[in-house]
Amino acid sequence: MYGRTLASYGLPKSDPTNYILDEDTTPMIMGPVSAQRWCYACAKQLVERLIYAHGTENNLKFTIIRPYNWIGPRMDYVPGVDGKDDGQPRVLASFMTALMKGEPIVLVNGGEVFRTFCFVEDACEAVCTIVGKPDKSIGFSFNIGNPGNNIQVKELANLMNEMYAKITGKPKVATKDISGEEYYGKGYEDSDLRIPSMRLVKQQLDWEPKTTLKEAMEMTMKVFIEKYADKLENKKRAADAPAGAVKAAKK
Active site residues: 40
How far does CA 185 lie from the centroid of its chain? 20
* C-alpha count within 13 angstroms, C-beta hemisphere, residue 231: 13
Q: Which helix (H) or strand (E) holds 53?
A: helix 39-58
**In 3D, which of 132, 139, 164, 146 has the Cα closest to residue 202?**
146
Sign of CA dihedral 40, 84, 214, 227: positive
CB 72 within 8 A of CB 33: no
CA distance 198 to 49: 21
CB 52 within 8 A of CB 41: no
In 3D, which of 195, 196, 186 has the Cα closest to residue 37?
186
Q: How would you classify the pairing of strands 28-29 and 4-5? A: antiparallel
Gap between the Cα atoms of 211 and 143, Å rounded = 16
Residue whose C-alpha is closest to residue 71's, from 159, 138, 139:
159
- The total number of residues written for the chain in this structure: 251
Residues 200, 137: contact at Cβ < 8 Å?
no
